[in-house]
A and B are shown apart, each in its own frame.
Chain A
Amino acid sequence: MNKLKKTVVICCIIMNCFSMSACFSYKDINKVMFITAFIVDVDNSGNPILYAEAFKGVRTSATAGQDERVLFKATGKTLFEAVRNMNATSSYKLNYTQNKAIIFTQKAAEFGLDNFIDFLDRDQELLIRPYIAIYQGDPEKLMKLNILQEKYIGTFLVQLVENIGASSRAVKLSLNEFYNQRGTGDRTNVVTIIDITKDDLEPKLQVNGGAVITNDKMVSVLSKNEGQGFNFLMNTILGGTLEITNPCDINKFITLEIIKSKTKTEISYNNNNNIIELKKKIKVKVDVGEAQKSIVLTKENIRKIEKKSEENIVKACNNVFAKYKDMGIDIFDITEQFYAKYPKIKIENIIDKTELKVEAEVEIMNTGDVENFQ
């Protein structure tokens, strides 16, 4: 290649580089305000009200400097208009790349998430990483909540959800999973519900069950107690506890710590009687965490504990399934599983024709020894 050709090629590459500018551009990190969480509410006319918290670096006399939490509120006919209106009250451009949580109020969720979701999905700055949650209460109270454990609600919510393994009753869902669920099967989601504790020593944010969203509208609440059965059925148990009566004293309890849980799903369709059989095989490995009063861990007692906890699991699963079967809402993704196996069979309202069979197998791995004594 001669020199002229080389120069032309290099010039073309450089010019091409400059024409490659997309919807991002140079912006210094101290010239933006990062939103860490925002709450979407609606007024009585159905217009979105947007609340947001952001952080901003501030230079102080101390070398280290510090960050400040800044709160915003804006309204508009659409969510995007509300976002732009919010920018009008901010000294720097609001940036959503560090957003950790998208919270909808119960009112907004009942009004319909489809009024807001498109903006969240379409805008490139809004990532699919944040967690989605429904808040049952006054959004202003939530924004002004002073959480000592963490300055920012968004970051705290992430920590809270990441720590969900400690409870087998909580539900977690990221925006990405939410998008997937609302577009497949019977378009039903179970979204984390958060609220502020009332009877705690100081007000805190807590995960409190799940909101059932069908066709982008909140239709029901999955209570904390139902959460465990739901999680067992959905194979989303990461940890938590099982409480059963003490075989040595029926008035006392034993707490089993879930170490590992695995749920296998088998789905089959009986053409003759038009029934879908849903079989869930749940294998749970537990440790004995606590025994009230005392327990003698004989083989017989261990078997009793295992049997009792198996019964509890089956009962919890059947209860939650029965409730939603009655309501005709498929929160268990049966529709997706059915069509994955039988893509050519078309059945209306699948959960109505589904019969659940739960087989639970609990195995106590470790009974633990009391070692600390003097």
Chain B
Amino acid sequence: MEKINIEYIKEKLKNSYDVKYREIESALGIILGVFIDDLCDSKFISEYIFNPLMQAKIETVDLEYIKKEVLPANSIGDINNNDEVISHVLSGDLVLIFSFASKAIYCEAKGYVRRSVGIPVTENVIKGPREGFVEAFVDNVSLIRRKIKNSDLKFETVVLGNKSNTVTVICYLEGVAPKKLVDYIRTKINNINLEFILESNYIEEELKNKNTVFDTIGTTEKVDVAASKILEGRVAIIVDGTPFVITAPYFFVDNFQTPDDYYSNKYFGNLSRGIRVFSFFLASLLSGLYVAITTFHFSLIPTVFAVKLAISRAGVPLPTVIELLLMTFFFQLLREAGIRLPQPIGQAMSIVGALILGDAAVGAGLASQSTVVVVALSSISSFLVSKLYGALSTWNIIIILFSSVLGLPGFYISFFIFISHMAGLESCGYPYLFPLGTLETFKFKDVLYRKDLSKISNSVFDKDDYNE
């Protein structure tokens, strides 16, 4: 066994003001404490590590004696080489190096600043738990543990990122999560070779389908959502440093499910879900249908509406398709600006935006009222299924372009491609449209209609899947 080399460690950790070295004299020689000031609890170190060491009369080179008799800290372990020393120091542990022993000891003394558990802003609910994940993975693990008190709940850790050494936790319920799914995810994660990991999307990208705008891997900030997915048999991946926990696999129908569906009245929940499904089609198809009908198939427009449309578009110099794309672009501009700006300025932005979109563009002859209504309706609808926002925005433009070239046949062709594309996607080896289109395992219990909770509270997977 190699002896711990202090010089090597100091060389590795040099030029870091927050790395502290504290020497303590003992009867047998020097004991060197190495820790990072910002990551450790100084009071804890002084009180429960350095103080007992100074008080104790250490007359044996047996480190077991020190661990058992001297140090009252709760989490202590041995370190056998220099790299382990550095890893523990960087993780917020205190490492004790003994001049008279070949091994070192680490004591857990983490004490860095953590954000407290708060309400997730991206997933608002009317009723139900409000706690959300935080950046520290240990807190996230404890939040899930508190929800699922089950010995089968497993947390496997993997350190990823050659430079960042980010702790990633794979969480699943043994016996409920299919073995092949856990193996698939474990293999994928172990094969990740990235320099650094700052957010869960670094792992998400490795797991999901590459050539699509649809998110085939889910993320959530809400503890109860993650817990429900784990209980259904899916796998959660917690990445240190982000409150967004990955859930996999993630299916198309998951986009329409919200926690409120399960925590509020069943019938109203179903109505809301129906509206979300309808809004998905509205957001993706309305603009294309509008272009196709108002530029190719006048015979499908009722006369009264045709008169209104002709009046509304009178004087607009741009073709309908350009007008529609322009207004969609304006809307995207506003949305992007609204997200990036600080909230107080964002409100002012919204007012200016509403004026531009609602009135000024029509007044200036850039757009017709009917186009503004279509773009507004389409955009509002896309917010109802916010997780599909990116996919809807992209496919909306594709469908508009197809419709503008071929009218309704173009619209149908693009819709067919749209559906085919979705049907071709996979999420961790499962079809993305599951259970839609998978006749053998079709479970209609919680797809479009949420049945009684007692009937849907089971795994989404088949029994055969568990041990495959």
Binding site for B on A (CB under 8 A): 13, 17-18, 20-21, 24-30, 32, 34, 36, 55-59, 63-67, 95, 97-98, 100, 127, 155
User: Are B303 and A29 neighbours in the complex by a CB distance under 8 Å?
Assistant: no
Contacts of B303 in A (CB 8 A): 34, 36, 98, 100, 155
Which of B299, B301, B313, B362 interacts with A30 by CB under 8 Å? B313
User: Are B310 and A67 neighbours in the complex by a CB distance under 8 Å?
Assistant: yes
Contacts of B161 in A (CB 8 A): none
Contacts of B311 in A (CB 8 A): 57-58, 64-67
Bound Cα distance A66, B307 (Å) = 9
Q: Known contacts A29-B295, A100-B303: does B320 contact A17 (CB below 8 Å)? A: no
User: Are B299 and A32 neighbours in the complex by a CB distance under 8 Å?
Assistant: no
Contacts of B406 in A (CB 8 A): 17-18, 20-21
User: Are B296 and A57 neighbours in the complex by a CB distance under 8 Å?
Assistant: no
User: Are A55 and B298 neighbours in the complex by a CB distance under 8 Å?
Assistant: no
Contacts of B233 in A (CB 8 A): none
Stretch at the interface among B71-79, B276-284, B407-415: B407-415
Which of B296, B306, B402, B413 interacts with A24 by CB under 8 Å? B296
A-B contact pairs, 19 of them (CB 8 A): A17-B413, A18-B405, A25-B296, A26-B295, A26-B296, A28-B294, A29-B298, A30-B310, A30-B314, A32-B298, A34-B307, A55-B307, A57-B309, A57-B310, A57-B314, A63-B362, A63-B363, A64-B311, A127-B299
In B312-353, the 8 Å CB interface with A consists of 312-316, 319-321
User: Are A28 and B320 neighbours in the complex by a CB distance under 8 Å?
Assistant: yes
B264–chain A nearest beta-carbon distance, Å:
42
Contacts of A64 in B (CB 8 A): 311
B298–chain A nearest beta-carbon distance, Å:
4
The 8 A CB mask of B354-376 against A (1 = contact, 0 = none) is 00000000110100000000000
Contacts of B168 in A (CB 8 A): none
Which of A26, A59, A95, A155 interacts with B314 by CB under 8 Å? A59
Bound Cα distance A130, B31 (Å) = 101
B297 close to chain A: CB less than 8 A: yes
Contacts of A27 in B (CB 8 A): 295-296
Which of B294, B315, B321 interacts with A59 by CB under 8 Å? B315
Bound Cα distance A352, B407 (Å) = 54
Which of A25, A29, A97, A155 interacts with B310 by CB under 8 Å? A29
B286–chain A nearest beta-carbon distance, Å:
17
B270 close to chain A: CB less than 8 A: no
B404 close to chain A: CB less than 8 A: yes
User: Are B409 and A29 neighbours in the complex by a CB distance under 8 Å?
Assistant: no
Contacts of A57 in B (CB 8 A): 307, 309-314
User: Are B314 and A65 neighbours in the complex by a CB distance under 8 Å?
Assistant: yes
Contacts of B362 in A (CB 8 A): 63
Contacts of A67 in B (CB 8 A): 307, 310-311
Contact residues on B (Cβ < 8 Å of other chain), bracket: 20 to 34
Closest 5 CB pairs of A and B: A59-B315, A57-B310, A57-B314, A97-B299, A57-B311
User: Are B298 and A59 neighbours in the complex by a CB distance under 8 Å?
Assistant: no
Q: Known contacts A36-B303, A64-B311, A100-B303: does B316 contact A30 (CB below 8 Å)? A: yes
Contacts of A13 in B (CB 8 A): 413
Bound Cα distance A97, B294 (Å) = 12
User: Are B297 and A24 neighbours in the complex by a CB distance under 8 Å?
Assistant: yes
Bound Cα distance A25, B295 (Å) = 8
Contacts of A29 in B (CB 8 A): 294-295, 298, 306, 309-310, 313, 320
Bound Cα distance A308, B306 (Å) = 50
In B243-286, the 8 Å CB interface with A consists of none
| Inter-chain pairs besides A28-B319, A30-B313, 8 sampled, C-beta below 8 Å | A17-B409, A17-B413, A21-B406, A29-B295, A29-B309, A30-B310, A34-B310, A95-B298
Contacts of A63 in B (CB 8 A): 362-363
Closest to B297 in A: A24
Bound Cα distance A32, B297 (Å) = 12
Closest to A64 in B: B311
Which of A58, A63, A98, A127 is most buried by chain B, counting CB atoms within 10 A of its CB?
A: A98
Contacts of B312 in A (CB 8 A): 57, 65
User: Are A17 and B314 neighbours in the complex by a CB distance under 8 Å?
Assistant: no
Bound Cα distance A334, B217 (Å) = 70
Closest to B320 in A: A28
In B406-465, the 8 Å CB interface with A consists of 406-407, 409-410, 413
Contacts of A100 in B (CB 8 A): 303
User: Are A28 and B299 neighbours in the complex by a CB distance under 8 Å?
Assistant: no
A152–chain B nearest beta-carbon distance, Å:
8
User: Are B297 and A55 neighbours in the complex by a CB distance under 8 Å?
Assistant: no
Contacts of B306 in A (CB 8 A): 29, 34, 98
Closest to B407 in A: A24
In B134-181, the 8 Å CB interface with A consists of none
Bound Cα distance A138, B218 (Å) = 73
Contacts of B407 in A (CB 8 A): 24, 26
User: Are A20 and B409 neighbours in the complex by a CB distance under 8 Å?
Assistant: yes
Closest to B316 in A: A30
Bound Cα distance A13, B310 (Å) = 34
Contacts of A66 in B (CB 8 A): 311
B324–chain A nearest beta-carbon distance, Å:
11
Bound Cα distance A234, B313 (Å) = 46
Which of B313, B365, B410 is most buried by chain A, counting CB atoms within 10 A of its CB?
A: B313
Closest to A18 in B: B405
Contacts of A18 in B (CB 8 A): 405-406
Closest to B369 in A: A63
Bound Cα distance A67, B304 (Å) = 11
Closest to B410 in A: A17
Contacts of A34 in B (CB 8 A): 298, 303, 306-307, 310
A72–chain B nearest beta-carbon distance, Å:
17
B280–chain A nearest beta-carbon distance, Å:
25
In B37-84, the 8 Å CB interface with A consists of none
B421–chain A nearest beta-carbon distance, Å:
11
